[in-house]
């Protein structure tokens, strides 16, 4: 957790994607124009969120298996950071939509369902706040997390593909369709996924370490 | 029929407006530098937070 190499890697990747994202060539598509570069920022937010929520559900399962309090702390802190990234993704998506789809909120399937998915995780936070006793709180929220995660996956990735959506990649094949065919974009997008996931993971480890120390001081 | 098929050509030609003006006068680099400054600032902040935490962790584990 204290190793520095992956933190530097994440920083370098994120800086690279910002520079290359603006300077390298992109497909010239009508309506999108240069905003297609937003792909390098908007989508990695969701990828980082997915990474963090996956980590969270992993530790929730682990908590139920072994009952270690540190696993519960990992579960909650990864959700905390995941929610931040999801809100960033939602807001950047809305701004992008304003200039390409015409309004901030088009009641597009994916927009609606990701908002619902975020609310699911807000409910996780509320649930935790409602229970005072540590072990009960950890157990019940772990069980909730195990339900929330697949629901989130279905809402964000499955249902939008099954219906007509403004989002590329939905209402048809997975991936980013016409964008994905351009390997120039892949060269920036994939490092962006990794870089932002690392940054998100880093922030989560910092929060977890702070929590652990606070916990020790309180007990 | 020919007219209908020619419409699709516009998707890939230079008729799509891109920010070529910003590129040709070099101002795109201003945008890049600004974003890099913001990112670097935030990353340096993260590194310093991490260092501060490490110090506190050491102190807390030394006490034990």
**A166: containing domain:** 46-181+199-218
Cα-based distances in Å from B22 to A34, A53, A83, A99, B26: 11, 39, 35, 19, 6
Let me know if residue A10 belongs to a domain.
no
Let me know if residue A193 belongs to a domain.
no
Let me know if residue A80 belongs to a domain.
yes
Which pLDDT belongs to residue A178?
Answer: 56
Which pLDDT belongs to residue A182?
Answer: 74
Q: Is the pLDDT of residue A114 over 50?
A: yes
Size of interface A-B (CB pairs under 8 A): 60
From the list A10, A21, A20, the residue with the least C-alpha distance to A51 is: A10
* pLDDT tens digits, A169-214: 776 544 555 555 678 888 999 999 999 999 999 999 999 999 999 9
- Domain definitions of chain B by residue range: 22-64
Q: Is the pLDDT of residue A125 over 90?
A: yes
Let me know if residue A175 belongs to a domain.
yes
Let me know if residue A163 belongs to a domain.
yes
- Buried/exposed B29-51: b ≥16 CB within 10 Å, e otherwise: eeebeebeeebeeebeebeeebe
* pLDDT tens digits, A38-77: 999 999 999 999 999 999 999 999 999 999 999 999 999 9
Lowest mean pLDDT among A68-82, A125-139, A168-182, B15-29: A168-182
Judging contacts by C-beta atoms under 8 Å, the chain B residues touching residue A14 are 39, 43
Q: Looking at residues A83-97, what average pLDDT do you find?
A: 95
Predicted confidence band of residue B63 (pLDDT cuts 50, 70, 90): confident
Please judge whether B32 and A206 are an interchain contact, meaning their C-beta atoms are less than 8 angstroms apart: no
Please judge whether B53 and A209 are an interchain contact, meaning their C-beta atoms are less than 8 angstroms apart: yes
């Amino acid at each position: 957790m204290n190793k520095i190499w992956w933190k530097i890697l994440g920083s370098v990747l994120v800086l690279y994607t910002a520079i290359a994202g603006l300077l390298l060539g992109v497909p010239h598509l009508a309506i999108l124009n240069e905003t297609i570069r937003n792909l390098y920022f908007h989508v990695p937010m969701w990828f980082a969120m997915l990474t963090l929520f996956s980590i969270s559900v992993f530790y929730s399962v682990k908590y139920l298996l072994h009952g270690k309090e540190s696993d519960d702390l990992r579960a909650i802190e990864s959700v905390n950071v995941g929610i931040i990234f999801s809100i960033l993704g939602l807001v950047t998506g809305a701004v992008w939509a304003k200039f390409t789809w015409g309004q901030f909120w088009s009641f597009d399937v994916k927009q609606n369902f990701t908002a619902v998915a975020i609310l699911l995780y807000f409910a996780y936070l509320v649930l935790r706040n409602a229970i005072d006793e540590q072990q009960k709180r950890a157990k019940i929220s772990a069980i909730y997390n195990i339900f929330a995660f697949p629901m989130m996956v279905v809402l964000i990735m499955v249902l939008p593909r099954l219906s007509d959506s403004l989002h590329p990649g939905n209402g048809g094949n997975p991936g980013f369709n016409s964008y994905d065919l351009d390997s120039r974009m892949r060269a920036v997008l994939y490092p962006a996924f990794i870089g932002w996931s690392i940054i998100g993971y880093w922030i989560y480890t910092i929060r977890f370490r702070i929590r652990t120390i606070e916990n020790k001081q309180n007990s | 029929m020919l007219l209908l098929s020619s419409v699709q050509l516009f998707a890939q030609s230079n008729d799509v407006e891109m920010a070529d003006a910003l590129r040709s006068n070099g101002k795109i680099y201003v945008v890049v530098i600004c974003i890099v400054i913001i990112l670097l600032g935030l990353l340096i902040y993260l590194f310093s937070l991490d260092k501060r935490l490490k110090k506190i962790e050491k102190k807390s584990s030394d006490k034990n």
